[in-house]
Structure 1
Amino acid sequence: MTAPEVAGEVLLRARRRLSRAISRASDSPQSTYVSDADLRRSLGEQSLAGVAFRICNSLEPHLTQGLADLETTVTTVKEFFPEAVAASRLEAEAILDHRITLFSHEYELGSRIDWHRDPQANLQWPLLHFTHVPLVMGRGADVRVVWELNRLHHFVTLGRAYSLTNDERYAEEFLLQLASWYEDNPPRFGVNWMIGMEVAIRAVNIIAALEMFRGSPNMTDEAIELILKMLISHGRFIRDNLEFSYRGASNHYLSDLIGLFVIGITMPELREASGWVSYSARRLLKEMDRQVLADGVDYEGSIGYHRFVVELFALFFSISQANGLEIPGRYWGRMEAMFDFVRYYLKPDGTAPIVGDSDDGRLLKFKARPADDHSYLMSVAAVLIEKETFKQSSRIDEEALWWFGLRGREAFESLAISEQPPSSRAFRESQIFIQRSANPEVPLYAIIDCGDHGLRGHGSHAHSDALSIEVFALNRTFLRDPGTCVYTASERKRNLFRSTGYHNTVRIDSEEISQTREGELFAFIQNVRPQVNLWESTAERDVLDAEHQAYERLAQPVTHRRVITLDKREGHWTIQDFFTGEGRHRFEFFFNFDVGLEVTLDPANHATARDASAALIIIPASDHKLDAKIEARWVSPAYGLRLNSSAIIYSLTAKVPLAVSFQLLASKGE
């Protein structure tokens, strides 16, 4: 940080402490609701009836173009996805019964939903002023689960079902749950007002649901009044509690800004609306310069959070486009680069790899998808950027219809299907490298993480995974990153899943590549940024040569250099690990496998991981004898979910310099 930034951060924190102290002293659960008089002042010369008429009669402005002409969008969705009607009804019926899916698990929440309770740990957060609410409650309780419920994504699920079926029970349930939430969550009190990000995402989902239910006879002036009061309190809270930092703003601050922007754009009658729009629009572009690297990758060092940030900026760009707000061309270029990173990192089966944390965070969920399915972003990109590069199939994804409506369908159909599949690619600023073979008969894919801890070294969502590789071959993932599992529910699990041993790299002397400090769940002690020596990609092979100096801190320092070569002609990888420095050390080479694989070792210490259709064989080579063992592992394909898997660990104790290599061969099953 520069001297002015340090001074600015000190002043910012002092002002924040003062503001929160004043809020604590003056707030009470009864006094923080938006009153009738306050609503009238906010509306000014506009009447509540007039605002309700605009909303219910589908007059501009709207959250998305697909929601603007809802009737045409619904017709198109039914035409392209006739199965969506029955699927949406099943989801909505579960919500009527208060069976709500959070991440990968369906919870029965009882006759009256407790909006402050973690349903998995059965532990309730206290209704305290937001400045006093604890983040960690213990007993395995996870605030992220509570927040996921209170982002109210299931309101959009109900709205989709209502739009496709016109079943008034869904509109009634939406309003009943909305009133329940309003009553149980006085502004600035409780776990659901702890941070602006959660407030902002909730506001966007309330507005999306309102758009989908606006034609219901249940959407009375009284219902609109309740929603307006909620949105005013949400907007004011966000504006007063922006999660900006000179040290390193993140997706939290971006969420704050998109929340303000969406409330301001869609509710222009509010007194604060124009100020919220102008404030947030300028800063969203400024943060795009800061948080999105030149190669299009979000600077937090996480593919899961890259997807989330893509959704934030895509909504900002699409709303701006629909409302005539000009965005300079260079930002459109950065938006295209963000989508292009998605296009390259998607595996041949359309799923996303995991690099760094992933809490499955989304802005809008118009359709339920597995956590690793980012493929819908290609349809969104094709329409928003209007480029055939992103058109991966002849059928538009359902999400793009809710985003863009008939115009989106027409734009998508006017594009030719891309005949240029993604190739190997170096994302040099983020230092993420993707290797691919062009042979459709033997699709090979690897992604290698040579990035630092994110936030330009300050860290937040990175793992202890320098030079780690994820491998996909013959239509399935073999070597993989373990995922996240949990954040605050368990420090032990949190650190286990981001540990070196859970990634496909090398550990020396049982020391983590990136050291943790007790109680710090989103940072490491010191940044690690590998040095890339060579990236070469030809028709015959891809070669990545990189090294890191994290183990220079040892009493007898060591540098780890790794060369990963994909031989595209022969269809195999070679991983060469070189160690230089001083002394004698213990080296452990980790190969962590996906779920559903049978992992074996033969007498020659050749490892095989196989399912019914394919296998990956790992053949070690060294001048020294390598020990090998199979060890139990966990994989977390979705937040909060753990599945059994296995790892092969090769190890030896030797002096440096040392060279060890492995050949990875993919073969079809018998």
Structure 2
Amino acid sequence: MGKIFYYLKKAKSMPPDALCAKIANKILNLTKNKIQKLRDISGDTRIKFNVSPVRISYINLCELDVSNINLDVARYLSKMYLEHKFDLLGSGWVKNSYDSAALGLEGYKYDMNAATPASALEGYEPIDWQKDFKSGFRWSEKKWYKDQRIAHKPGSDIKVPWELARFQHLPQLAIFAMADPSLKEQNLKEFKNQILDFISNNPPRIGVNWTCTMDVGIRVANMLAAYDMLCQIDEGRILDADFKQTFSNSVYEHALHIVNNLEYSPHLTSNHYLSDIAGLLFACAYLDGGGETDAWLAFAVQEIISEMKKEFYEDGGNFESSTSYHRLSGELMAYSTALILGLKSEKISSLQNYDAKLWRKKPKLLPPDEQEFKILNGQIALPQWFVDRLYKIGRFTADIIKPNGEVPQFGDNDSGRFFKFSPNGEFLSNEQAAQKYLNLSGFEGGNEPFWDENILNHSALISCMGGIFDDEIFKNGFCFERSFIRSLAGRKLQAIDKTYKSQVASGVKFSELPYRKSVEFKITSSQEIKNIFYPDSGIFIFKSSKFYLALCATPLGQNGHGGHTHNDKLGYELWIEGRDIARDPGTYLYTPLPGRRNEFRSIRAHNAPIVEDLEQNSWGEGIAGLFGMLAECRCFVTDFGENFISLAAEYKGIKIMRKFEIKEDRLVVTDTANREFYYSKFELYSNGYGKLTKNV
């Protein structure tokens, strides 16, 4: 009943014509799906022709700076990838093969190993692309892609095979080979074998790795980035003509799949759709031109610009109300912008002459003379508002970073990235890793070290912006990302509007609230502390080299859908002189354990005042309820100054005000409410998807 009530409430919030259109579209899609499924299951889903082999290169190796790549890490990760060991979404460094044993997830463990398929690849052991190697659950490699159930069994996580099949480790193989030439031959062979392994065992529209178009888009972009770099160092022609043809056909199949499976809705597009478009952009930039692919390319450029306006506020923050999804979408925007700027002359020419009628999907492809981008002197000119907002995306990340280099975890964190070029983390022993992370209980990795990735360090995104803009705030030690972006774009952009949004809207102040509590934190001095406000994003920062305070008053997110929002309004992260005093607990998991998902996004997991365990925003039951909330809480600023700010939240008859005041030697947090309230101490903490530790 709860699920039905949730859908009914959502339906009532939609205009009647929009609701009718959605129902009609659903019926039409069901009919089309039945026809397509019959065709796919009964025959070969691969294209029946050869596309022109990919010959275009957008990456100038001479411009790439690998000086920040630690050679010990490069050799370690290359070794792991060659042994098919991956640490993804809290798995620990474990081997993924058809006969590998799983550690299990909170007591859920499955033995669903299958026979290893025959392989023509000499000395190569195939990867099991359909398996969640955390729980051992395995999706069917014979099922149609739309029939794959996301939440199948307790503990099973479809994100694990999806994450592996994003191929984000393949560009690293290329980067490591450039940093250490002794790795070149083995990494080239491994790239070739993994690509052929995937293509052989994942035909289009069959199996789990075509279910989510977002992952298809990220995968093809990573395939192409790795291919571009590796082809240039392949003196021994390991990547022969037959491989290049097979690879190029697959790139086209990825592009075709994206076109036919866009995660688009006229009511809401998000990071999924943006990933679709970014992947399509990369595929079309590398594929030979023609009527069809020219229209696809024009559509991708059009939609990158359109999504900037939809998904990023004027202050630069992302509309998902999540600092981690801001990084993902920011990377998608930065790399896509760089590629658009660096498109080859024949591609730029096609953007002036494409036939818009060849695009038959929604949304509509505009004709060349109606596009927001222009062609000036043989180069693409992006709208100035787009350039300014891209700059502010980078500045937002630079501003919210703590002195320890990490970001606050407001909203969801699924560890999502577009590219993962520079390794970022530290070496632990396997014993230390098992002691640190509760999810690795029982993990035995032998005597080799354990590379622990730092998911919360977003320096790579800042470095990306340094490849597009000349600004001191974007300079850091991550040299590769900056050089890669610079190589793609071939030129810099100039932001004109760099101003912060000066207007911070203040809501109506509550009358005297009878219930009151306060807490104080000692600080050394308040003299160097400055405030940085992001009113659209609902994040307010006070920081210095020894003090950091981030306050959460984020909107529900996704235009009121709340797919990646937590009940964290009035919550805060506090860091003083090298110590985390208060921090958001993170996310941990999505669909494998719905109870955990709801636990981590509940108000009880956050350091906000709680009244009778009432949630700020309610959610529905079932899978749909895991990625949406009902808009029930209003959060706003009531007053602010140089050294203080007062925030308020109102929901379900509850009124709460929280004032943060920085005095000479202390921070004072004062809460008042119209009903009795209490605070909860949440014992768990997740610094990345699937990772679980004890809270401070």
Q: Confirm or deny a common fold (TM above 0.5).
A: yes
Residue 75 (structure 2) pairs with residue 89 (structure 1): yes
Q: Which residue matches 2:659?
A: 563
Instruction: Tell me the CA shift for residue 566 of structure 1.
Output: 2.3
SS at match of 1:306: helix
Whether the 8 Å contact between 2:468 and 2:489 is mirrored in structure 1 is no
Say which of 121, 143, 147 aligns to 2:158: 143
Say which of 120, 123, 147 aligns to 2:134: 120
Q: Which residue matches 1:31?
A: 44
Taking only aligned residues, the RMSD between alpha carbons, in angstroms, comes to 2.4
Q: Which residue matches 1:100?
A: 86
SS at match of 2:278: helix
Q: Which residue matches 2:457?
A: 373
Q: Which residue matches 1:300?
A: 320
Q: Which residue matches 1:384?
A: 468
Say which of 673, 679, 689 aligns to 1:589: 679
Q: After superposition, where does 1:354-433 map in structure 2 within 5 Å?
A: 354-369=409-424, 370-391=454-475, 393=476, 395=477, 397-405=479-487, 423-433=530-540
Whether the 8 Å contact between 1:9 and 1:246 is mirrored in structure 2 is no
Q: Which residue matches 2:356?
A: none
- Name the CA distance, whole Å, in 1 between partners of 2:42 and 2:576: 56
Instruction: Tell me the CA shift for residue 551 of structure 1.
Output: 3.1
Q: Which residue matches 2:672?
A: 578
- Name the CA distance, whole Å, in 2 between partners of 1:180 and 1:214: 19
Instruction: Tell me the CA shift for residue 190 of structure 1.
Output: 1.2
- Name the CA distance, whole Å, in 2 between partners of 1:301 and 1:399: 25
Whether the 8 Å contact between 1:378 and 1:390 is mirrored in structure 2 is yes
Instruction: Tell me the CA shift for residue 336 of structure 1.
Output: 0.9
- Name the CA distance, whole Å, in 1 between partners of 2:188 and 2:42: 28
Instruction: Tell me the CA shift for residue 534 of structure 1.
Output: 1.6
Q: Which residue matches 1:649?
A: none
Classify 1:247/1:287 alpha carbon distance in 2 versus 1 (closer, same or farther; 3 Å).
Answer: same
Instruction: Tell me the CA shift for residue 124 of structure 1.
Output: 0.3
Instruction: Tell me the CA shift for residue 408 of structure 1.
Output: 8.5
Whether the 8 Å contact between 2:405 and 2:457 is mirrored in structure 1 is yes
Q: Which residue matches 1:599?
A: none
Q: Which residue matches 2:196?
A: 179
Deviation string for 1:295-345 (max 9, x for gaps)? 111101000000000000001111122223221111001111111111110
Q: Which residue matches 1:161?
A: 176
Q: Which residue matches 1:634?
A: 684
Classify 1:263/1:4 alpha carbon distance in 2 versus 1 (closer, same or farther; 3 Å).
Answer: farther
Whether the 8 Å contact between 2:57 and 2:228 is mirrored in structure 1 is no
Whether the 8 Å contact between 1:564 and 1:576 is mirrored in structure 2 is yes
Deviation string for 1:397-451 (max 9, x for gaps)? 3322233249989999xxxxxxxx9941111112111122x4x4xx111111111
Whether the 8 Å contact between 1:452 and 1:527 is mirrored in structure 2 is no
Residue 259 (structure 2) pairs with residue 235 (structure 1): no
Instruction: Tell me the CA shift for residue 275 of structure 1.
Output: 1.4
Q: Which residue matches 1:246?
A: 266
Instruction: Tell me the CA shift for residue 69 of structure 1.
Output: 1.6
Letter in structure 2 aligned against 1:561 = M
Q: Which residue matches 1:21?
A: 34
Greater strand fraction, Structure 1 or Structure 2: 1
Letter in structure 1 aligned against 2:213 = G
Classify 1:5/1:268 alpha carbon distance in 2 versus 1 (closer, same or farther; 3 Å).
Answer: farther
Say which of 321, 331, 335 aligns to 1:311: 331
Classify 1:454/1:277 alpha carbon distance in 2 versus 1 (closer, same or farther; 3 Å).
Answer: same
- Name the CA distance, whole Å, in 1 between partners of 2:303 and 2:487: 28
Classify 1:338/1:451 alpha carbon distance in 2 versus 1 (closer, same or farther; 3 Å).
Answer: same
Letter in structure 2 aligned against 1:459 = G
Q: Percent identity?
A: 25
Deviation string for 1:368-413 (max 9, x for gaps)? 221001022222222312223333x5x553322233249989999x
- Name the CA distance, whole Å, in 1 between partners of 2:248 and 2:130: 23
- Name the CA distance, whole Å, in 1 between partners of 2:285 and 2:408: 35
Say which of 631, 648, 660 aligns to 1:526: 631
Q: Which residue matches 2:210?
A: 193
Instruction: Tell me the CA shift for residue 106 of structure 1.
Output: 1.3
Whether the 8 Å contact between 1:100 and 1:154 is mirrored in structure 2 is no
Classify 1:254/1:498 alpha carbon distance in 2 versus 1 (closer, same or farther; 3 Å).
Answer: same
SS at match of 2:93: strand
Letter in structure 1 aligned against 2:481 = E
Residue 550 (structure 2) pairs with residue 550 (structure 1): no
Instruction: Tell me the CA shift for residue 456 of structure 1.
Output: 1.6
Q: After superposition, where does 1:58-69 map in structure 2 within 5 Å?
A: 60-62=56-58, 68-69=59-60
- Name the CA distance, whole Å, in 1 between partners of 2:550 and 2:199: 45
Whether the 8 Å contact between 1:434 and 1:447 is mirrored in structure 2 is yes
SS at match of 2:655: strand
Instruction: Tell me the CA shift for residue 477 of structure 1.
Output: 1.9
- Name the CA distance, whole Å, in 1 between partners of 2:86 and 2:206: 24
- Name the CA distance, whole Å, in 1 between partners of 2:300 and 2:19: 23
Structure 1 stretches of 4+ with a deviation exceeding 6 A read 406-412
Q: Which residue matches 1:202?
A: 219
Deviation string for 1:606-627 (max 9, x for gaps)? xxxxxxxxxxxxxxxxxxxxxx
- Name the CA distance, whole Å, in 1 between partners of 2:26 and 2:632: 24
Say which of 349, 357, 360 aligns to 2:404: 349
- Name the CA distance, whole Å, in 2 between partners of 1:334 and 1:359: 24
- Name the CA distance, whole Å, in 1 between partners of 2:490 and 2:688: 30
SS at match of 1:27: helix
SS at match of 1:189: coil
SS at match of 1:532: strand
- Name the CA distance, whole Å, in 2 between partners of 1:225 and 1:30: 22
Whether the 8 Å contact between 1:383 and 1:411 is mirrored in structure 2 is no
Whether the 8 Å contact between 2:469 and 2:492 is mirrored in structure 1 is no
Say which of 273, 279, 300 aligns to 1:280: 300
Letter in structure 2 aligned against 1:433 = F
Whether the 8 Å contact between 2:342 and 2:488 is mirrored in structure 1 is no
Whether the 8 Å contact between 1:401 and 1:409 is mirrored in structure 2 is no
Instruction: Tell me the CA shift for residue 511 of structure 1.
Output: 2.0
Instruction: Tell me the CA shift for residue 514 of structure 1.
Output: 2.1
Letter in structure 1 aligned against 2:680 = F
Classify 1:551/1:565 alpha carbon distance in 2 versus 1 (closer, same or farther; 3 Å).
Answer: farther
Q: TM-score w.r.t. structure 2 length?
A: 0.75
Instruction: Tell me the CA shift for residue 367 of structure 1.
Output: 1.5
Whether the 8 Å contact between 1:264 and 1:270 is mirrored in structure 2 is no
- Name the CA distance, whole Å, in 2 between partners of 1:465 and 1:404: 38
Letter in structure 2 aligned against 1:157 = Q
Classify 1:645/1:170 alpha carbon distance in 2 versus 1 (closer, same or farther; 3 Å).
Answer: same
Whether the 8 Å contact between 1:297 and 1:306 is mirrored in structure 2 is yes
- Name the CA distance, whole Å, in 2 between partners of 1:407 and 1:7: 44
Classify 1:559/1:322 alpha carbon distance in 2 versus 1 (closer, same or farther; 3 Å).
Answer: same
Q: Which residue matches 2:609?
A: 506
Say which of 394, 407, 426 aligns to 1:339: 394
Classify 1:169/1:409 alpha carbon distance in 2 versus 1 (closer, same or farther; 3 Å).
Answer: farther
Instruction: Tell me the CA shift for residue 634 of structure 1.
Output: 1.0
Deviation string for 1:617-668 (max 9, x for gaps)? xxxxxxxxxxxxxxxx11000110110125xxxxxxxxxxxxxxxxxxxxxx
Letter in structure 2 aligned against 1:530 = C
